[in-house]
């Protein structure tokens, strides 16, 4: 029964990845990442409650709380603060238009499906579905990074990749060790802070957060 809810949530997380690609504004990127992270926290919460009822283990439930605090509240706050402080002009934010990007993402989902289904060692049907959806989220996050011009888009893409990896790990293993999860959160916060500083530096140097401006550095 619990697998059906997790299956539905993993599909919803994949849908939010498509929503991210379909968005055109930086603030919408942040909102979509926030929604995706909330869904991930719900998955961790469901697994946490299940573990508490079965074994009395509170670790995964604590991970759900930390996910809400870090990914749903704190990181979006940092990103919104960064966006407010840099000069933002309304301009085309992507290299390919939305319909082409959506078609490419559909292709990435098919690639994930054929890749995962051909792995014979995965016998559990639900684990296979979880891995297909999570791998597709990772690939879409990577595509989002290379298809957006704004430096903020690169950060969001990195965060979506991490969400996809985290979803795959927590669903396929039924929960990771607490020390591993805390290490991931710490690394994630460090990466976001460093990338935020880089955004400020890009804005100071080029008066824009468009990464196309970096071409001016070529001699």
Task: Name the residue among 205, 43, 212 with its Cα closest to residue 126.
Answer: 43
**pLDDT over 70 at 218, yes or no:** no
Length of the chain: 219
Task: State mean pLDDT over 99-114.
Answer: 93
Residue 139 exposed, middle or buried by CB count within 10 Å (0-12, 13-18, 19+): buried
Note if the pTM is more than 0.85. Answer: no
Query: For 174, left (φ over 0), alpha (ψ -120 to 50), or beta?
Result: left
Task: State mean pLDDT over 171-178.
Answer: 68
Task: State mean pLDDT over 38-63.
Answer: 84
**Which range is most confident: 2-6, 19-23, 169-173?**
19-23
In the structure encoding, which two tokens stand for residue 18, read together? 């498509």
Q: How far is CA 112 from CA 14, 108, 130, 146, 157, in A?
A: 12, 6, 11, 19, 18
- Higher pLDDT: 87 or 82? It is 82
The answer to whether the CB of 174 falls within 8 A of the CB of 47 is yes
How many C-beta neighbours within 10 Å does residue 155 have? 26
Dihedral over Cα of 167, 169, 171, 174: its sign:
negative
Dihedral over Cα of 29, 35, 39, 41: its sign:
positive
Residue 210 pairs with which residues in a beta bridge?
150
Instruction: Look over the chain and give the mean of its residue pLDDT values, rounded to a whole number.
Output: 79
How many C-beta neighbours within 10 Å does residue 16 have? 21
């Amino acid at each position: 029964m619990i697998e059906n809810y997790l299956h539905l949530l993993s599909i919803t997380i994949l849908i939010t990845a498509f929503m991210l690609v379909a968005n055109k504004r930086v603030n919408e990127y942040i909102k979509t990442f926030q929604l995706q992270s909330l869904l991930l926290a719900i998955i961790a919460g469901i697994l946490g409650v299940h573990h508490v009822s079965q074994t009395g283990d509170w670790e995964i439930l604590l991970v759900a709380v930390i996910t809400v605090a870090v990914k749903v509240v704190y990181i979006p706050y940092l990103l919104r603060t960064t966006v407010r402080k840099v000069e933002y002009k309304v301009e085309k934010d992507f290299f390919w238009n939305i319909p082409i990007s959506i078609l490419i993402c559909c292709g990435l989902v098919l690639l994930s499906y054929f890749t995962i289904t051909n792995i014979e060692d995965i016998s559990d049907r639900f684990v296979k579905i979880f891995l297909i959806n999570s791998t597709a989220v990772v690939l879409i996050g990577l595509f989002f990074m290379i298809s957006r011009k704004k430096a903020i888009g690169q950060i969001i893409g990195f965060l979506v990749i991490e969400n996809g990896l985290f979803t795959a790990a927590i669903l396929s293993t039924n929960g990771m060790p607490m020390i591993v999860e805390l290490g991931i959160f710490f690394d994630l916060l460090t990466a976001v802070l460093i990338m935020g500083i880089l955004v400020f530096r890009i804005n100071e140097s080029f008066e824009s957060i468009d990464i196309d401006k970096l071409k001016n550095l070529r001699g």
